A and B are shown apart, each in its own frame.
Chain A
Amino acid sequence: MMDILTLFVAAILVNNFVLYYFLGICPFLGVSKKIDAAFSMGMAVTFVMTLTAVASWMINHWILIPFGLDYLQIVSFILVIASLVQLVEMFIRKMSPPLYQALGIYLPLITTNCAIMGLALLAALKNYDFIKTVVFGVGSGLGFTLAIVLMAGIREQLDLADVPEPLKGAGIALIVAGIMALAFSGFSGMIK
């Protein structure tokens, strides 16, 4: 129980997907201009990550490993992710149009989001069991959400500041991300 908890906290703070693993930078830079957009993206990512965690674990442990097909990991994971995102989009559009309004446009972007593929690969690499994989998925998604919402909050304020012309946009966002990464590295060593 304890190590599941530490895994969860570590995924959010210590080994934050964006600020430590450098995953999900494209949406992190692209969708972090407004807090509510950032939050929606974060929630969409967390949702897809959790589903991916489940699906990739099942494929890895029920099909790939038993049949010695681990070299098909990359192809199967990315196809699963692409299909999952497609299914999720269709499902949300039918089931809840307001939710689709909020999240829908971000979903296609998520397929090539390295964070999702990164999650599947890291969980497989670390050989987590099912529960740990799911916890890792949820935690990493929440960590991503935390990073992107914090970034959006800062960028909303930055809009009012006098940023030098060449640094406007991606440049200053990256520098801010660097400072955030520094701050988050203070969480290291938290885990007993």
Chain B
Amino acid sequence: MPPKKSIGAEYLKGLWDENPVFRQLLGMCPTLAVTNAVINGIAMGLATAFVLILSSLVVSSIKKLIPNQVRIATYIVIIASFVTIADRFLAAFFPPISKALGPYVPLIVVNCIILGRQEAFSSRNSIGRSLIDALGMSTGFILALLVLSSIREILGSGTFLGYPLLGAWFKPWTIMILPAGAFITLGVLLGIAILIESKTKARSA
């Protein structure tokens, strides 16, 4: 058993070392799909956080009761229920955001981050630790979405959260809002993340 991390470290690992998007390469579908505007990225991040945190709490509470063979099915039902709640809530109270995010909110149910965390962590750790882990992963995911959507919105529309940022002299790079821009930006960001990681490793070696 690797030594238990401190609470702080348990949370912080989700932000960089084990960042779900940049290091674990999970949850890429929504990361690419809804980051054309910052507001969409934030909404998706919060919805995913909602599902991840609550699912982790539930799974961690009942982990001793679930027979091994049916654990994946059980996790899926739990996750799908929270996703449905998030989806219905958005459709009822924030219809424009629900429309903008479209089918990607229900798709949170197959976001590998959530199922992955249940399998790798919540099913083997205390409720408290699972909560911290979920919070850390959620923060890391939201950060990744923020970075990507800021780049895409600022360069692609010249705005941030809908407010014009760069003025009239800037001709927006429309490609940033298109699928191609999403792929290329994420690829470059991944490269930068790996570069930073190797430089810090080299320095501490």
Direct A–B contact in complex, judged by CB atoms less than 8 Å apart:
yes
A-to-B contact residues, CB < 8 Å: 19-26, 29, 71-75, 78-79, 82, 111-114, 116-118, 121-122, 125, 164-167, 170-175, 177-179, 181-182, 185
Q: Is the CB of A175 within 8 A of B103?
A: no
Q: Is the CB of A172 within 8 A of B33?
A: no
- A25, A113, A121, most chain B CB atoms within 10 A: A25
In the assembled complex, the CB of A118 is this many whole angstroms from the nearest CB of chain B, namely 6
Q: Is the CB of A178 within 8 A of B181?
A: yes
Given contacts A112-B112, A125-B103, 16 further A-B contacts (CB under 8 A): A22-B179, A25-B28, A74-B83, A74-B106, A75-B81, A78-B110, A79-B73, A79-B77, A79-B80, A111-B110, A112-B110, A114-B29, A116-B110, A117-B110, A170-B25, A171-B190
Q: Is the CB of A78 within 8 A of B76?
A: yes
Contacts of B83 in A (CB 8 A): 74
Q: Is the CB of B29 within 8 A of A178?
A: no
B-side interface residues, number (CB < 8 Å): 43
- Pairs A-B, 6 closest by C-beta atoms: A174-B187, A178-B183, A178-B184, A175-B187, A166-B195, A171-B191
Contacts of A113 in B (CB 8 A): 110
In the assembled complex, the CB of A8 is this many whole angstroms from the nearest CB of chain B, namely 20
Q: Is the CB of A179 within 8 A of B180?
A: yes
In the assembled complex, the CB of B193 is this many whole angstroms from the nearest CB of chain A, namely 8
Contact of A22 among B33, B73, B192, B198 (CB under 8 A): B33
Q: A25-B32, A174-B186, A181-B180 are in contact. Are A121 and B80 (CB under 8 A)?
A: no
Q: Is the CB of B182 within 8 A of A170?
A: no
B-to-A contact residues, CB < 8 Å: 25-26, 28-30, 32-33, 72-73, 76-77, 80-81, 83-84, 87-88, 102-103, 106-107, 109-112, 115, 175, 178-184, 186-188, 190-192, 194-195, 198
Contacts of A71 in B (CB 8 A): 84, 88
In the assembled complex, the CB of A66 is this many whole angstroms from the nearest CB of chain B, namely 19
Q: Is the CB of B183 within 8 A of A175?
A: yes
- B77, B112, B190, B192, most chain A CB atoms within 10 A: B190
Contacts of B84 in A (CB 8 A): 71-75
Q: In the assembly, what is the distance between CA of A113 and CA of B112, in Å?
A: 9
Q: In the assembly, what is the distance between CA of A71 and CA of B91, in Å?
A: 11
Q: A117-B106, A177-B183 are in contact. Are A26 and B178 (CB under 8 A)?
A: no
In the assembled complex, the CB of A181 is this many whole angstroms from the nearest CB of chain B, namely 4
Contact of B28 among A29, A74, A82, A166 (CB under 8 A): A29
Contacts of B81 in A (CB 8 A): 75
Q: Is the CB of A182 within 8 A of B180?
A: yes
Q: Is the CB of A78 within 8 A of B109?
A: yes
Q: In the assembly, what is the distance between CA of A21 and CA of B179, in Å?
A: 8
Q: Is the CB of A25 within 8 A of B178?
A: no
Contacts of B110 in A (CB 8 A): 78, 111-114, 116-117
Using CB atoms, name the residue of chain B closest to A113. B110
Q: Is the CB of A178 within 8 A of B103?
A: no
Q: A112-B112, A164-B191 are in contact. Are A79 and B88 (CB under 8 A)?
A: no
Using CB atoms, name the residue of chain B closest to A121. B103
- B103, B112, B175, most chain A CB atoms within 10 A: B103
Q: Is the CB of B103 within 8 A of A118?
A: yes
Q: A25-B32, A112-B112 are in contact. Are A167 and B107 (CB under 8 A)?
A: no
Using CB atoms, name the residue of chain B closest to A167. B191
Contacts of A171 in B (CB 8 A): 187-188, 190-191, 194
Q: Is the CB of A174 within 8 A of B109?
A: no
In the assembled complex, the CB of A110 is this many whole angstroms from the nearest CB of chain B, namely 10
Contacts of A19 in B (CB 8 A): 179
Q: A25-B32, A29-B25, A114-B107 are in contact. Are A170 and B183 (CB under 8 A)?
A: no
